A = this chain, B = another copy of it.
Amino acid sequence: MTTVLIVDDEGPFVRALGISLRARGYDVETAETGEAGLEIAARAHPDAVVLDLGLPGIGGLEVLRGLRSWSSAPVIVLSARHAEATKVEALDAGADDYITKPFGFDELLARLRVVLRRATPGLDEPVIVTSNFTLDLRAKRASTPTGTEIRLTPTEWGIVETLVRNPGRLVSQRQLLQDVWGPAYETETPYLRVHMAAIRRKLEPDRARPRYFITEAGMGYRFQPEQ
């Protein structure tokens, strides 16, 4: 399920957009101030954010920067301001798109699809095959080579996905905790240890000698594709 966070202080607009998104199968969270937006983002880790630049209190740009300090989720900025310098500033601050009001919902939805398909790499090739298991990221299905299903819990999927989306690369414990649990859990390394053990029990042929999910002591974990 894809979660979209809308941060905007115009109630009617937010409600209308929310309905549109939900009708298309997205999960929607909303916030009417920048502070609330950052808070909800930290709790719900949305897959994309629609952010109004003209917010009361802390401005849209601050929200964008706050978000970018830990999240790489795509952000679409909405604004009534047409000035080129403003656009460039927002885009360089980490926004993925900048749409000026007024605009059509269909365009916004299309642009949302664009940033979502770019932000989740490996979605075009979402099946990972090793000689011990097969992962279908899109279907969220794991199975043995013979086809028997392996059940992974939501947390285990979260960890496996971020590791598998960075094949061969080291993923720091910090990033794993941020991706799966949210920025407030950066230091909860014990969680990671427990769940890594569970993942290995299910996916490694010999959990004492991991072959796919490698520990790098003091740094993080690495998914090692076959060959």
Spell out A's residues near B (CB within 8 Å). Answer: 72, 74, 84-85, 87-88, 91-92, 95-97, 104, 106-107, 109-111, 113-115, 118-119, 124, 138-141, 151, 153-154, 157, 168-170, 216-219, 222
Contacts and interface: CB of A to CB of B under 8 A. Distances in A.
A85 B50 CA distance: 21
B118 A141 contact: no
Contact of A119 (B92, B109, B118, B218): B118
Contacts of A92: 110, 113
Contacts of A85: 106
Contact of A154 (B104, B153, B219): B219
Contact of A84 (B84, B104, B115, B154): B104
Contacts of A153: 217-218
Number of copies: 2
A157 B170 CA distance: 12
Contacts of A157: 219
Contacts of A107: 84, 87-88, 91
Contact of A216 (B111, B115, B118, B140): B140
Given A85-B106, A87-B110, A95-B114, 11 more contacts: A84-B104, A88-B110, A96-B118, A97-B114, A139-B169, A139-B222, A140-B170, A140-B216, A140-B219, A141-B170, A153-B218
Given A107-B88, A153-B218, A219-B157, A141 B169 contact: yes
Contact of A170 (B110, B124, B139): B139
Contacts of A168: 139, 141
Nearest to A157: B219
30 contacts: A72-B124, A84-B104, A84-B106, A84-B107, A85-B106, A87-B107, A87-B110, A88-B107, A88-B109, A91-B113, A91-B114, A95-B114, A96-B118, A97-B97, A97-B114, A115-B118, A118-B119, A138-B169, A139-B169, A139-B222, A140-B169, A140-B170, A140-B216, A141-B168, A141-B169, A151-B216, A154-B217, A154-B218, A154-B219, A157-B219
Nearest to A168: B139
Contacts of A170: 139-141
